[in-house]
Structure 1
Amino acid sequence: MSSFTSEFMESSGQLLQCILLSKFVLVLLYKAADVNEIHVKFS
Protein backbone atom coordinates (compact mmCIF):
# COMPACT_ATOMS: atom_id res chain seq x y z
CA MET A 1 0.00 0.00 0.00
CA SER A 2 2.76 2.43 0.89
CA SER A 3 4.57 1.80 -2.42
CA PHE A 4 1.33 2.47 -4.32
CA THR A 5 0.81 5.69 -2.37
CA SER A 6 4.34 6.93 -3.10
CA GLU A 7 3.94 6.07 -6.80
CA PHE A 8 0.61 7.92 -6.87
CA MET A 9 2.18 10.94 -5.16
CA GLU A 10 5.01 10.98 -7.72
CA SER A 11 2.66 10.73 -10.71
CA SER A 12 0.28 13.37 -9.32
CA GLY A 13 3.29 15.60 -8.69
CA GLN A 14 4.35 15.24 -12.32
CA LEU A 15 0.78 15.99 -13.41
CA LEU A 16 0.74 19.09 -11.21
CA GLN A 17 4.03 20.25 -12.75
CA CYS A 18 2.58 19.76 -16.24
CA ILE A 19 -0.52 21.78 -15.32
CA LEU A 20 1.55 24.58 -13.80
CA LEU A 21 3.85 24.60 -16.83
CA SER A 22 0.92 24.80 -19.25
CA LYS A 23 -0.65 27.62 -17.23
CA PHE A 24 2.70 29.44 -17.25
CA VAL A 25 2.96 29.04 -21.04
CA LEU A 26 -0.62 30.26 -21.51
CA VAL A 27 0.11 33.35 -19.40
CA LEU A 28 3.27 34.04 -21.44
CA LEU A 29 1.33 33.68 -24.71
CA TYR A 30 -1.43 35.93 -23.38
CA LYS A 31 1.07 38.59 -22.33
CA ALA A 32 2.89 38.33 -25.65
CA ALA A 33 -0.40 38.73 -27.55
CA ASP A 34 -1.28 41.68 -25.31
CA VAL A 35 2.06 43.37 -26.04
CA ASN A 36 1.65 42.75 -29.78
CA GLU A 37 -1.84 44.25 -29.69
CA ILE A 38 -0.58 47.35 -27.88
CA HIS A 39 2.32 47.62 -30.35
CA VAL A 40 -0.08 47.44 -33.29
CA LYS A 41 -2.38 50.09 -31.76
CA PHE A 42 0.43 52.58 -31.20
CA SER A 43 2.30 52.02 -34.45
Structure 2
Amino acid sequence: MLFHWFTGDGEWAGHEFNEDSVTVKMVIASFEAVQDRAIPHEEFTI
Protein backbone atom coordinates (compact mmCIF):
# COMPACT_ATOMS: atom_id res chain seq x y z
CA MET A 1 0.00 0.00 0.00
CA LEU A 2 1.40 3.41 -0.90
CA PHE A 3 0.27 6.25 1.34
CA HIS A 4 0.69 9.83 0.16
CA TRP A 5 1.06 12.44 2.89
CA PHE A 6 -0.04 16.08 2.70
CA THR A 7 0.20 18.95 5.14
CA GLY A 8 -2.81 20.77 6.55
CA ASP A 9 -2.32 23.34 3.79
CA GLY A 10 -2.47 20.69 1.08
CA GLU A 11 1.25 20.70 0.36
CA TRP A 12 3.05 17.46 -0.51
CA ALA A 13 4.72 15.94 2.56
CA GLY A 14 6.02 12.67 1.15
CA HIS A 15 4.89 9.09 0.97
CA GLU A 16 5.26 5.77 2.73
CA PHE A 17 5.13 2.25 1.33
CA ASN A 18 3.51 -0.23 3.73
CA GLU A 19 3.43 -4.00 3.21
CA ASP A 20 1.89 -4.88 6.58
CA SER A 21 -0.96 -7.28 5.81
CA VAL A 22 -3.10 -6.01 8.70
CA THR A 23 -2.84 -2.42 7.45
CA VAL A 24 -3.54 -3.40 3.84
CA LYS A 25 -6.60 -5.46 4.85
CA MET A 26 -7.91 -2.57 7.00
CA VAL A 27 -7.60 -0.09 4.13
CA ILE A 28 -9.27 -2.46 1.66
CA ALA A 29 -12.13 -3.06 4.12
CA SER A 30 -12.53 0.70 4.61
CA PHE A 31 -12.79 1.37 0.87
CA GLU A 32 -15.28 -1.48 0.46
CA ALA A 33 -17.43 -0.15 3.32
CA VAL A 34 -17.52 3.31 1.77
CA GLN A 35 -18.32 1.90 -1.67
CA ASP A 36 -21.22 -0.10 -0.21
CA ARG A 37 -22.71 3.11 1.21
CA ALA A 38 -21.96 5.41 -1.71
CA ILE A 39 -24.50 7.01 -3.99
CA PRO A 40 -24.09 5.64 -7.53
CA HIS A 41 -22.66 8.30 -9.87
CA GLU A 42 -25.69 8.24 -12.13
CA GLU A 43 -27.97 9.03 -9.14
CA PHE A 44 -25.82 11.80 -7.62
CA THR A 45 -27.11 15.37 -7.81
CA ILE A 46 -25.75 18.54 -6.30
Query: Radius of gyration: which is bigger?
Result: 1
TM-score scaled to structure 1, two decimals? 0.45
Greater share of residues in helix? 1
TM-score scaled to structure 2, two decimals? 0.42
